[in-house]
Chain A
Amino acid sequence: DTGVSQDPRHKITKRGQNVTFRCDPISEHNRLYWYRQTLGQGPEFLTYFQNEAQLEKSRLLSDRFSAERPKGSFSTLEIQRTEQGDSAMYLCASSTSLGGFSEQYFGPGTRLTVT
């Protein structure tokens, strides 16, 4: 397995457009997380899936943001009507809940620039 992958790696969009990002976790991992990281800050939790169920959502996840994990494998994060404040690195991470606590493995991120 090659680890967590994210696509695209970079996205430039104009304000008001919709964007969608994809995350492919490590295949045996049932937990998937989305984070947002802005310049000079650590990652901020957005949402968390266990299998296909979205179990936690941060208050940072406004109604313009939606995440899905339809078959419990890959996940998508969509941002509607993008704003300049959405410019950030969007990180995906995965882990397994089997055998107790497991570390999170991070993907390379998708850097979003809203012009």
Chain B
Amino acid sequence: AQTVTQSQPEMSVQEAETVTLSCTYDTSENNYYLFWYKQPPSRQMILVIRQEAYKQQNATENRFSVNFQKAAKSFSLKISDSQLGDTAMYFCAFSMGTQFYFGTGTSLTVIP
């Protein structure tokens, strides 16, 4: 079975600073996808960034980047130049194509 673990229930960061959210996963599969989703308060989930397991290069999307360590089964999200609008729940997710497995989330608060 696939499991996704987020060990940081809550985090905070000062505006304009950098923060890293951790995620580990467990799978015996070799081909899969990893994602970070953002769920702002009372709003729907949106995709922040995704990583294909077969790609060694870490994905980046503007201020968001990942550190993908396949052997360690680790997939952390780095948010640079944090903005107030980054305040949200962040979910790490794993998929092999159809079914998605989500972690329990990290609540991030950006402090002005």
Contacts and interface: CB of A to CB of B under 8 A. Distances in A.
Q: Is chain B found bound to chain A in the same assembly?
A: yes
A45 interface: yes
Contact of A103 (B4, B35, B91, B104): B35
A70 interface: no
A55 B98 contact: yes
A31 B45 CA distance: 17
Contacts of A101: 33, 52, 97
Nearest to A6: B44
Nearest to B43: A108
Contacts of A43: 45, 91, 100, 102
Interface in A25-61: 31, 33, 35, 40-45, 48, 55-56
Contacts of A67: none
A20 interface: no
Interface string B36-59: 010000011111001010000000
A44 B98 contact: no
Interface residues of B, number: 22
A75 B102 CA distance: 22
A106 B44 contact: yes
A91 B44 CA distance: 9
Contacts of A35: 100
B98 A56 contact: yes
Nearest to B45: A106
A103 B91 CA distance: 14
Interface string A95-109: 000000101111111
A56 B95 CA distance: 14
Contacts of A44: 102
